[in-house]
Amino acid sequence: VAFNHSEAHFRSLIENSNDMIALLDAQGRFEYVSPAVTRVLGYADSELLGHTAVEFVALEDLSSVLPRFTALLSGDTSLTTAEYRIRRKDGGWCIVESIGCLLRDDAGGAPAIVVNSRDVTERKAAEEALRQTDARLRLLNNISRHVKLGMPADEVVEHVLGEMATHFPRYRVSYGAADNGRIVVRFALGTAELPAIIGRVIDFGETPAILGILREGRALTIENAARDDRLGAFAERLREWNVAALMLIPLRAGGQLKGVLALASPRPRTWAAHEQTTLREVGDYLALAIAESEAQEQRKRVESALSISQQRLRQAQKLEAVGRLAGGIAHDFNNLLTAIIGYSELLLAELPDRDDVIRRDVLEIKQAGDRAASLTRQLLAFSRQQVLEPQVVDLNAIVRNMDQLLRRLIGEDVHLVIDSAADLGQTKADPGQIEQVVMNLALNARDAMGDGGRLSIRTCNAALQADEASALGATPGEYVVLEVEDNGSGMDAETQSRIFEPFFTTKEPNKGTGLGLATVYGIVQQSHGAIGVTSSPGRGTTFRIYLPRVDEPVRPARADGPSAPHVETSETILIAEDESSIRNLMRAVLARSGYRLIESANAEEALERLAAYDGSIHLLISDVVMPGLNGPELAARVRQRQPDVQVLFLSGYADQAVLGEQSGPHAFLAKPFTPAVLKEKVRQLLEPRRRA
Amino acid sequence: VIGSSLLSGRRVLLVEDDPILQRAGEASLRQRGLTIITASDGAEGLKKARDEAPDLVLLDLLMPLMPGVELLRALKADAATAGIPVLVLSNSSRDDDKREALALGAAGYLVKANISLKELGDHVERLLTGP
């Protein structure tokens, strides 16, 4: 009774247990299964009893399960554990953990095996999920540890992709930057089964639907590219790249698509939820880091631009001050030079005897005056106070005329060689600007040859073919070339790439403005030309200025010589000029030509004299800038009295700015001028009246 | 013996290098009334297939001496054995491997991780008795 009572107890324990308990015979057949077995696996008792247990085990797991069974039967061990998969009635697998022990029959019958199994399927799934979460957190942790705020975007991407490749060893991870609806693949790491794709372009213009998905911030998940009908032309790209399965996460910042992060497999696959989560989380982080890095770069750019523009402003202010000073000095010089040159000419006219010693001396004075006038003109060109016009010019003539000036500029240690092509074509340019180009290049060459050297200036014709022209940024065609070569220190590539930037200079502070080559560049560009530079450190520098060749003859310069015949005249000229030397010179010149002159030192005096004069005035010659009323204002007053009066303004270059639209019709004579030019100008102005 | 009478006398060549699987497979199939010939490597498998002319070959892919794929190719290339249906047992669930085996003429492709002994027997039975 006690036994029976006890057996009922045990039976109750077994039948109410959640563990699956089974009894197997020596052949491994089910002799008994507890209700838990049928409950968990879904089979009816009859489907199990008498059947071999291992028939239900996954083939793969037999190698570990069967030896344990045999070990129990043979008595090698009395207790064994195993983890394996067993087929459920519904076709799924149940992962079980089993403990088996041998049950000997004391009566000498065949032994049996008791197997106590527990369904660990859910626990295994939870463990796997935990493992994946753990791996994902480790990945994010690694990324956030390596990616520092403000790191350049490329470095951020590189770090993130490196970590991703470790996390997803079986896939390729890649990053593409968004560029006007296209994606340019910038980084790719991972499985060698896929071809290299860096630099490749995905044009979602072909597949707007996909671009739409990405722009909305949704992920694109492709399990089998060959069977995905959303892809359109993109499918072709994926086939080319041997990608069957793809996950594409848009990287967005500030509502904008910055790029994509992708996970690709050469084989079709169903992407697991945890893989999608991981990619999404890393993508969000990457987008944030890229946006932060861009913001940082933008801040740096703004700061540096601000600092540069402050420097430029200081430079420009300095330059303007220097320019104003140079212009002012040149203005006064021009007054003096007009007198020096003018009186020299008057004297020369009085001394016709060529062998006269005094005449030779006066000639020296005049020539010195001419040279001084030329220097003043260069100075004004340099301070950019000239408004000049393009005309057909002969480069050879320009270079020839600058010979003296250049020799003075470059000093005695530099040997100047000028080699002009005899058949050189013409070009259309502003001669003053071209002179400035030559001067700036010569100055740079001189500074590059601190210990002296050789400066070669050559001219030649050139025909630029398409490839040469495009390398120079010019259009193909015929050019005339001005070549300036030195054998000085030369430049490295880095310097060469910046020489035409305004305010870039390799010279010591205060030694160069950094505008020399920038001005050259501007002038050449304005003249529709191009510049070629060859240079290397220690090997000297060669600049080649290409100017478009034109087939027009050079217009002869306006004759300076006395062209008009001496005519007796009776016109009255009102002169207003505060500089007495100029006034005196004009009197000397014009009185000899028979004009009647009314002289004044300023506008007010001129108006007084005019008021006191009964006859009519034919011509007003006035300085532009005077104390009190200026030239244009005086001209307006005179015109009120006598509307048909001719007006001739005299000016140093610096005064030109005063002459505006309101100045009325007028002629203009630049200082310094020669008596002959003055006479000719006056004659031209008064002649129409005389004819009429 | 629970074998179906349809199967009795039918002979299956089991080419499997894992002795445990070989023995378990042999025992399981024998219970269904089949006659089992075993081979432990590809070369032996090829020889026995030629000598014994079985009704079916059960073929493991990962084997020494001659990989299963090579054996399959040899069987299909030889007119004497080309007609014997071959059921492949593989450790690989890669589509490419499956495609390759089927392209070489395998009658079926079973992945060891995804099948029980019972299901293996059911497959064999279907192949031998099927239309």
Contacts 24+ apart (CB under 8 A), A461-464: A461/A421, A461/A423, A461/A424, A461/A425, A461/A549, A462/A546, A464/A546
- Could you tell me whether strands B56-60 and B86-90 are parallel, antiparallel, or unpaired per DSSP bridges? parallel
CB-based contact (8 Å) between B1 and chain A? no
Q: What's the pLDDT score for residue A48? A: 94
Rounded to a whole number, what is the distance in Å from the CA of B80 to chain A's nearest CA?
A: 31
From the list B89, B110, B118, the residue facing A55 with the nearest CB is: B118
Match 């001739």 to its residue by tokens. A648
Whether the Cβ atoms of residue A161 and residue A189 lie closer than 8 Å to each other: yes
- Report the percentage of chain B scoring pLDDT > 90: 69
Structure token pair of residue B117: 């002994």
Match 């129409």 to its residue by tokens. A688
3-state secondary structure A90-154: CCCEEEEEEEEEEECCCCCCCCEEEEEEEECHHHHHHHHHHHHHHHHHHHHHHHHHHCCCCCCHH
Please write the tens of the pLDDT for every residue from A106-154: 777 778 899 999 999 999 888 888 888 888 888 888 888 888 777 888 8
Tell me the mean pLDDT in the region A358-385: 74
Lowest-pLDDT range of A233-237, A241-245, A388-392: A388-392
Interface touch A52/B114, C-beta < 8 Å: no
Instruction: Write the Ramachandran bin of A510: left for phi over 0, alpha for psi from -120 to 50, otherwise beta.
Output: left
Is the model's pLDDT at B106 over the cut of 50?
yes
Rg from Cα positions in chain A: 49
CB-based contact (8 Å) between B114 and chain A? yes
CB-based contact (8 Å) between B91 and chain A? yes
Interface test with B, best of A62, A63, A73, A224 (most B CBs within 10 A): A62
Rounded to a whole number, what is the distance in Å from the CA of A55 to chain B's nearest CA?
A: 5
Please write the tens of the pLDDT for every residue from A149-163: 778 888 888 888 888
Interface touch B95/A268, C-beta < 8 Å: yes
CB-based contact (8 Å) between A58 and chain B? yes
Lowest-pLDDT range of A253-262, A388-397, A478-487, A669-678: A388-397
Encoded amino acid at A508, one letter:
E
CB-based contact (8 Å) between B20 and chain A? yes
Lowest-pLDDT range of A34-38, A499-503, A590-594: A499-503
From the list B94, B113, B121, the residue facing A60 with the nearest CB is: B113
Write phi, then psi, for A39 (nearest 5 degrees).
-65, -45
Residues of A in Cβ contact (< 8 Å) with B114: 58
Please write the tens of the pLDDT for every residue from A619-639: 999 988 888 888 889 999 999
C-alpha span between A597 and A102 (Å, rounded): 145
Report residue A8's pLDDT band, with 50, 70 and 90 as the boundaries: confident
CB-based contact (8 Å) between A96 and chain B? no
Write phi, then psi, for A389 (nearest 5 degrees).
-125, 140
CB-based contact (8 Å) between B29 and chain A? no
Chain A and chain B share a number of CB contacts under 8 A equal to 54
Which residues are CB-contacts of A306 (< 8 A; sequence separation ≥ 6)?
Answer: none
Question: Looking at this predicted complex, what is its ipTM?
Answer: 0.89
Match 């107890």 to its residue by tokens. A9
Q: What's the pLDDT score for residue A563? A: 40
Report residue A508's pLDDT band, with 50, 70 and 90 as the boundaries: low
